[in-house]
């Protein structure tokens, strides 16, 4: 009986996406969860590279619903990032760029998780509400918000 060479096991590829400020801080708190994975980061601030070196960092334009042209540019850039990285999993702590990355990643079959900001104590953010229609899992960091919105609660990042 012939033997076939085994394929080398490829580490799970994660694309971790967050805009700047508190979203980035919360994503950085999740880093231990990525142990053993090949992690790529996507964010709006090039200075963030130093925090995660030597991991690859991809930069996209910061945008929101009020900056429509920048939102289009962010979508295009995030499409390029997702197609180049080909992640198995996309995880985001927000905001708009994280939602966009999740939508794009779903088109290539990636699993997706959106973790809403700890700052949203009463309701889900706009990005999290949109992500509920696209992500495999949307988490709130507040049990009451999760209970009211259909998101899940699994604890707080901070």
Query: Is residue 158 included in any domain, yes or no?
Result: no
* Residue appearing with tokens 């920048």: 70
Q: What is the CATH number of the domain that holds 123?
A: 3.40.50.2000
* Overall domain count for the chain: 1
pLDDT digits (tens, 9 = 90+) for 29-83: 999 999 999 999 999 999 999 999 999 999 999 999 999 999 999 999 999 999 9
Q: Over the chain, what is the mean pLDDT?
A: 94
Residues of the domain holding 110: 13-153
pLDDT digits (tens, 9 = 90+) for 24-33: 999 999 999 9
pLDDT range class, residue 5, cuts 50, 70, 90? low
pLDDT range class, residue 10, cuts 50, 70, 90? confident
Q: What per-residue confidence (pLDDT) applies to 37?
A: 98
Helix H, strand E, coil C: the string for the chain is CCCCCCCCCCCCEEEEEECCCHHHHHHHHCHHHHCCCEEEEEECCHHHHHHHCCCCEEECCCCCCCCHHHHHHHHHHHHHHHHHHCCCEEEEEECHHHHHHHHHHHHCCCEEEEECCCCCCCCCCHHHHHHCCCCCEEEECCHHHHHHHCCEECCCCC
């Amino acid at each position: 009986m012939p033997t076939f060479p085994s394929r080398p096991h490829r580490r799970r590829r994660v694309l971790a996406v967050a805009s700047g400020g508190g979203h980035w801080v919360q994503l950085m708190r999740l880093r231990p969860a990525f142990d053993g994975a090949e992690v790529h980061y996507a964010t709006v601030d090039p200075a963030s590279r130093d925090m995660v070196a030597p991991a690859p960092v991809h930069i996209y334009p910061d945008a929101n619903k009020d900056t429509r042209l920048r939102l289009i540019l962010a979508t295009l850039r995030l499409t390029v990032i997702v197609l180049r990285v080909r992640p198995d999993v996309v995880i985001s702590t927000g905001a708009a760029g994280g939602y966009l990355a999740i939508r794009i990643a779903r088109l290539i079959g990636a699993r997706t998780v959106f973790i809403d900001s700890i700052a949203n104590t009463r309701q889900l953010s706009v990005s999290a509400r949109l992500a509920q229609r696209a992500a495999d899992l949307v988490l709130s960091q507040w049990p009451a918000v999760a209970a009211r919105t259909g998101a899940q609660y699994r604890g707080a990042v901070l």
